[in-house]
Amino acid sequence: MTQIRFDGRVAIVTGAGGGLGRAHALLLASRGAAVVVNDLGGSLNGVGGDTAAASQVVREIEAAGGRALASFDDIATPAGAQRLVDAAAQAFGRVDILINNAGILRDKTLVKMEPADFEAVVRVHLLGSAWCSRAVLPLMQQQQYGRIVMTTSAAGLYGNFGQSNYGAAKLAVVGLMNSLKLEAEKFGIRVNTIAPVALTRMTEGLPFARMLEEATPERVAAGVAYLASESCDASGIVLAAGAGYFSTVRIIEGQGVHLPAGDISPETVAARWGEISAEADARPFANAGAALLGAFGGDRG
Say how far apart CA 68 and CA 66 lie, in whole Å: 7
Question: Is 245 among the residues known to form the active site?
Answer: no
DSSP states of 149-184 as a string?
A: EEE--HHHHT--TTBHHHHHHHHHHHHHHHHHHHHH
User: 238 CB contacts (<8 Å, ≥6 apart)?
Assistant: 152, 157, 174, 177, 192, 193, 194, 195, 248, 249, 250
DSSP states of 69-117 as a string?
A: EEE---TTSHHHHHHHHHHHHHHHS---EEE--------B-GGG--HHH
Burial (Cβ within 10 Å: 0-12, 13-18, ≥19) of residue 267:
exposed
User: Strand pairing of 68-71 and 34-38?
Assistant: parallel
The one catalytic residue among 145, 158, 166, 245: 166
Give the catalytic positions in this structure. 166
